[in-house]
Amino acid sequence: MIKVLNIPLFDQGLEVAVLDVVTMCLSDQPKENRCISATGAHGITQAYKHPEFKTILKSFYLNLPDGMPCVWVGQLKGASEMDRCYGPDFFREVIIATKDLPIRHYFCGGKDGVAEELKGVCLTKYGNPNVVGTFCPPFRELSETECINLANVINEKETDILWIGISTPKQEKLAKRLSQYTNIHFLATVGAAFDFHIGKVQQAPRLMQKLGLEWFFRLCMEPKRLFKRYLEIVPCFIYYNLIEFLTTITTEDSKHDN
């Protein structure tokens, strides 16, 4: 792991992350409700500003670097094998890797019908028939009773991996709450992956993703909804990392002077 703004991020690549998840699901290890977040600059800056959310992310089993800016910072800090683990790609690769394995998936997220449509995509496009249930959460926060009831359904389906596709930080908070009541291997939060895979939202071209410009592509696609978010995220992420870098240099200089 490598810390970016004090959040531990997975310091390897997508293949390693997928293998880890699949291997653990097939092992004899007990189900420990391990939480995974595919988090980028948005999640990192939210955690920097909100201590409660930072505590949640720091408690997760894995925080996958969802965006290139996080990868670049991690590489600058010495994580030479660190690569982007994009949420939609992580979801797709795990679904493909488990299509012929006894690993059961449950989908939670999206507007009405999205999760059910995604279940069909997993079967027809990726050949995975092992989606055992779907749930469309309300826009409001679930009550404790609703949370327990949902967890009970997930447990009854003998789920191995719960996929949550809403927005940050709501999805991570929901995963953390559900993990108190579930008996599964993983709760993975993957943001807009549901909408991307059913074709509801267009993904940025791969070149733009590699250049760290996916935010710009999405802003062009949905300017009214995303303008305020990205106007804050991009400058804040750069600023906070710069401050951390300068603080580290100052601290090191003080040690040498002493």
Rounded to the nearest 10 degrees, what angle do helices 223-257 and 214-221 cross at? 150
Write out pLDDT tens, residues 93-109. 999 999 999 999 999 98
Q: Given the structure tokens 């792991």, which residue do they identify?
A: 1
Average pLDDT over residues 23-28: 93
Q: Is the pLDDT of residue 19 over 70?
A: yes
Q: Is the pLDDT of residue 85 over 90?
A: yes
| Residue 7 parent element (H or E) | strand 7-9
Rounded to 5 degrees, φ, ψ at 162 are -95, 125
Write out pLDDT tens, residues 157-184. 999 999 999 988 999 999 999 999 999 9
Concatenated DSSP letters for 197-223?
A: HTTSSPPPPHHHHHTT-HHHHHHHHSH
Angle at CA of residue 114, ends 113 and 117, nearest 5°? 85
pLDDT band at 230 (very low <50, low <70, confident <90, very high): low
Q: What is the pLDDT of residue 107?
A: 96
pLDDT band at 195 (very low <50, low <70, confident <90, very high): confident
Weakest-pLDDT range from 12-16, 59-63, 140-144, 223-227:
223-227
Q: What is the pLDDT of residue 187?
A: 98
CB 187 within 8 A of CB 179: yes
d(CA 121, CA 141): 28
| Closest residue by Cα to residue 48 from 3, 9, 6 | 6
Q: What is the pLDDT of residue 59?
A: 95
Domain ranges of the chain: 2-206
Q: Is the pLDDT of residue 20 over 70?
A: yes
Q: What is the pLDDT of residue 198?
A: 87
Rounded to 5 degrees, φ, ψ at 187 are -120, 110
Q: Is the pLDDT of residue 238 over 60?
A: yes
| Residue 27 parent element (H or E) | none
d(CA 175, CA 184): 12
Q: What is the pLDDT of residue 240?
A: 83
| Residue 2 parent element (H or E) | strand 2-4
Instruction: Count other Cβ atoms within 10 Å, centred on residue 87.
Output: 26
d(CA 128, CA 98): 7
Mean pLDDT of the chain: 88
pLDDT band at 67 (very low <50, low <70, confident <90, very high): confident
Average pLDDT over residues 199-214: 73
DSSP at 4: E
Higher pLDDT, 249 or 111: 111
Radius of gyration of the chain (CA): 19
Q: What is the pLDDT of residue 202?
A: 67
